[in-house]
Amino acid sequence: MLISKIHLPRRTVLRALGVTIGLPLLDAMIPAATTLAKTTAAARPIMTFVYFPHGAVMDQWTPTGTGTDFELPPVLAPLAPFQKQLTVISGCENKAAVGNAYHEITPGTWLSCLAPRSGHEPYGGVTIDQVAAARIGHDMPLKSLEVGTEEYGGKGSWDGKYGSGCGKTISFSTPTTPLPMEHDPRKVFQRLIGQAPGTDDRSVLDLVGQPAADLSRRLGRRDRAVLDDYLSGVREIERRAQNFRPAGSRDRGPGPPAADATPFHEHMTLMFDLIALAYQAGRTRVATFMMAAEMSTRSHPSLGFSDDIHSLSHHQNNPGKIARLTQVQVFHTGIFAKFVRKLAGMTHGEGSMLDHSIILYGSNMSSGYLHDHFPLPLAVVGGGCGRLQGNQHLIFPERTPLANLHLALLNRVGIQAERFADSTGALAAI
C-alpha cells in the first residue's frame, strides 16, 4: 500500500499553557509515497496486563472443549464478540505466589514469577510489563502506565514478612522498585494531558482551542472527522474524571463509601478508558491495571446484593455465595470487554488498536476460598500485530510454570529471551 498525503509528524501535539494533548494516528501523519510498513503506522505491539484479585470460580471460567472447538463459560461469555482474538490458557501455576502470605505477595508475583525474599523492604522481581516497556516503550512519552482502583490495606496473621509493595502493585521495574498503582483518575488524566481536569472551571480543550482549530484547517475531511471525534472523547473522559469522587473506604479512611461516591464499576470503566486514551494519543505502549485490590471490601449494589468481593471469595462452598461471586466475575469481565471493544473501534494504520494489542487478563490465585495458585485463570486477547493465533482454548500439562506464558508473550513482541524467571520454555501455539 502506498500513501500519497501531506506529512504531519506522528508526535504532533496540541500544546498550550502547560497542556499537551497527544493526537491519534491521522492519515496526514503517514508520509507521501511511502509503504505503510516503513511509516509510523507500521504495526507496533501494545501490551496491557489486567489483574483481578481472589481468583475465579474455575468451573464457570474454564471453557468446555479444547483447541478451536470450545464454548465460553459464563465468566468469559462477555468476550464472545472477540473470540477470534481470544486464547484461554489452562494448566498454569505460579509457585512464586505459594506460601502463607496469601494476599500480601500474590499481586506482586503475578508478572514476575519470582518469590520475594522475607525480611526485605521490598524485594521482588522485575515484571514482564517492565521488561517489555524497556523494549517497546522506551521511545514513548510514558515508558509505561500503572493504574488501579484502590490500595491493599489488609492485615492477617500471615502478613508482615515481606515488603508491602508486593500486595499493592503488580509492576516492579527493579527487584527493589515496586511501581505504585495510581488510583485517582484525575491524576492519571493530568499525567496524560499535563493538567488536572477542569482546572479553573475550564476544559483543557478550551486552552488548546486555537491550536486545534489551526490544525483542523490543515487536515483533510476524514482526518478532521477523526480529530473532532477524538477531542470529543477527551472532553467526555475529562468530565468524568472531574466528577470523580473516591468511593472506597481505603481512600477515605475507615467507614462506608461516601453517599456521593462514584460507583465502583464506573471507577473501573474510567480507568480502562484512560488506558485506551493513553494508547490512542501515543503516550505509551504498556499499561498495567489492578481492577480491585487484594482483600477488597468493595461491592456492586447494582447487582442486587451488598456482599463485598473478598467475603464472597471465601464462600466455603456455599452455593448462594458461589452464585453471587460468579455474578460479580461476569460483571467484571463485562467491564473489561467494554475496554476490548473500545480498542477494536480505534482505527490505527491498517487495522485497529486491538489488532495491535496483546492483553493478559487474569489472576494470580485460582480459588479465593482455598488461596491456591493452580490452575490459574488466564486469557490472552488481541491480535498482537498478527502474532497471536486466537480463537482457542489451550490446555497445558498440569502445573506448567506461569513464566512459560510470560516468555511466550515476550517473544511475541520481539524479545527473544531464552528464559524468564522459573520458565522451562515458551508456551507453544499462543
Q: Nearest 10 degrees: CA dihedral of 314, 315, 321, 326?
A: 70
The residues facing 66 across adjacent strands are 69
Select from 225, 102, 121 the least CA-distant residue to 175: 121
**Dihedral of CA 403/338/390/46: which sign?**
negative
| 3-state SS class at 241 | helix
State the amino acid at position 125 in one-letter form: G
Select from 171, 63, 81 the least CA-distant residue to 122: 171
In whole angstroms, what is the distance from residue 237 CA to residue 188 CA? 11
Select from 128, 209, 121 the least CA-distant residue to 165: 121
Alpha-carbon distances of 156 from 108, 159, 160, 214, rounded to whole Å: 17, 5, 9, 59
Write down the domain spans for the chain: 1-42+186-243, 45-184+264-272+284-412
Rounded mean pLDDT for each run of 10 residues along the chain, 430 residues in total: 60 88 91 53 86 97 94 98 98 89 84 83 84 95 97 58 79 93 96 82 89 93 95 96 77 55 96 98 97 92 95 95 98 98 93 97 95 96 96 97 98 94 95
pLDDT at 326: 98
Contact 49, 378 (CB under 8 A): no
pLDDT for 106-132, tens place per residue?
A: 999 999 999 887 765 666 789 999 999
In whole angstroms, what is the distance from residue 114 CA to residue 200 CA? 46
In 355-404 the beta strands, taken as DSSP E runs, fall at: 357-362, 378-381, 392-401
CATH of domain 45-184+264-272+284-412: 3.40.720
Grid coordinates representing 104? 500480601
What residue has cell string 473470540? 83
pLDDT at 329: 98
Grid coordinates representing 369? 476460598
Chain Cα centroid distance, residue 86 = 15
pLDDT for 74-90, tens place per residue?
A: 999 999 999 999 999 99
In whole angstroms, what is the distance from residue 58 CA to residue 198 CA? 43
Grid coordinates representing 142? 510514558
The H-or-E segment that residue 16 falls in is strand 13-16
Chain Cα centroid distance, residue 421 = 22
Contact 110, 94 (CB under 8 A): yes
pLDDT at 2: 39
pLDDT for 256-294, tens place per residue?
A: 566 679 999 999 999 999 999 999 999 999 999 999 998
pLDDT for 23-54, tens place per residue?
A: 999 999 887 645 544 544 567 899 999 999 99
Cis preceding-peptide flag for 375 (omega within 30 of 0) = yes
pLDDT at 256: 56
